[in-house]
Amino acid sequence: MEKSIDVVFLKEVLFTAKLSAERSVIYMQDKIAEYGNDTHLQEFFTLQLEDREAFLNKINEKIAEIDNIKFNIMGEQL
C-alpha cells in the first residue's frame, strides 16, 4: 500500500513540474516573438526554450515510466 501512495505522490509532483515547464515554454515562445528584432535576446530565449523543451520531454518520459510500472503492478495483481 505504501508503494502505491509513493507512486501517486511522485506522479502528482511530475504533473506539477510538467505544468510549470509547459508554462515556461509558452513564456519563452512569447519572448522570442516579442524580441524578434533583437538577435541577441532572440538567441537567448531560443536557447532557454530548447532547455525547457528538453526538460519537459524528460518529465513526460518519467510519467510514462510510472504509468508502465503501475500497469505492470495491476497486471500482476490480476
Q: 28-72, pLDDT tens digit by residue? A: 899 889 888 888 988 898 999 999 999 999 999 998 888 877 555
What pLDDT does 3 receive? 54
Identify the sign of the CA torsion 37, 41, 45, 46: positive
What pLDDT does 1 receive? 43
Structural domains in the chain (count)? 1
State how far the Cα of 1 lies from the Cα of 69, in Å rounded to an integer.
Answer: 15
CA distances from 30 to 19, 37, 60 (A): 17, 13, 23
Backbone angles phi, psi at 5, to 5 degrees: -65, -40
State how far the Cα of 22 lies from the Cα of 53, in Å rounded to an integer.
Answer: 8
Cell triple for 19: 505544468
Predicted TM-score (pTM) of the model is: 0.72
